[in-house]
């Protein structure tokens, strides 16, 4: 994963902490910040993970991911795709330009090479 994407993920987590939990405190002390994390952030995160696990709720990006996956499944692939692109289904890496532009690290070559229809895609 590129370093820029990891920075974006980290900044996103800090934004959630700042605007959803730390909005009443300008510069909280370390013990107060720890209390906010333990008493507010962790229980909310635990509830959200339970909802995802029991399929009562899905992340905001789920529908877009399913649409991109279905689009990749329904795309025709050339016969000699292995010679043109380096495709590694074990590490889920492809050298095509679409792979690097995809927010989900998804491309038609990987989906076609893996040739699976995961059960999690059946969930609505």
Task: Express each pLDDT in 58-114 by its tens digit.
Answer: 778 888 888 888 888 888 877 776 678 888 888 988 888 888 888 888 888 888 887
Residues 28 and 76 in one domain: no
Sign for the CA dihedral angle at 8, 13, 19, 22 comes to negative
- 28 & 47 share domain: yes
Share of the chain above pLDDT 70, in %: 86
Are 24 and 75 found together in one domain? Answer: no
Q: d(Cα 24, Cα 18) in Å, to the nearest integer?
A: 9
* Residue 74 shares a structural domain with residue 42: no
pLDDT at 11: 87
Residue 122, pLDDT above cutoff 70? no
Residues 48 and 74 placed together within one structural domain of the fold: no
Final residue before a domain boundary, out of 53, 72, 87? 53
Q: How far is CA 62 from CA 5, 18, 30, 56, in A?
A: 19, 25, 35, 13
Is residue 42 domain-shared with residue 79, that is, in the same domain? Answer: no
pLDDT of residue 43: 92
Collapsing DSSP to helix, strand or coil, 112 comes out as: helix
My answer on whether 29 and 69 are in the same domain is no
Instruction: Indicate whether 112 and 80 sit together in one domain.
Output: yes
Please give the pLDDT value at position 109: 85
Q: Structurally, how many domains does the chain consist of? A: 2
What is the domain extent for residue 87? 62-122
- Write the DSSP string, 23-90: TT-SS--HHHHHHHIIIIIHHHHHHHHHHHHTTS---TTHHHHHHHHHHHHTS---TTHHHHS-EETT
Where does a domain end: 20, 35, 53?
53
Q: Are 86 and 40 contained in the same domain?
A: no
């Amino acid at each position: 994963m590129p370093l820029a994407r990891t920075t974006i993920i980290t900044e996103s987590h800090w934004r959630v902490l700042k605007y959803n939990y730390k909005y009443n405190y300008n510069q909280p002390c370390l013990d107060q910040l720890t209390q906010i994390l333990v008493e507010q952030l962790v229980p909310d995160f635990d509830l959200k993970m339970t909802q995802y696990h029991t399929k009562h709720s899905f992340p905001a990006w789920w529908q877009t991911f399913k649409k991109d996956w279905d689009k990749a499944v329904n795309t025709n692939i050339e016969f000699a795709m292995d010679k043109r692109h380096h495709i590694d289904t074990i590490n889920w890496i492809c050298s095509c330009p679409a792979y690097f532009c995809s927010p989900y690290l998804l491309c038609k070559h990987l989906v076609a090479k893996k040739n699976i229809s995961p059960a999690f895609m059946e969930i609505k």
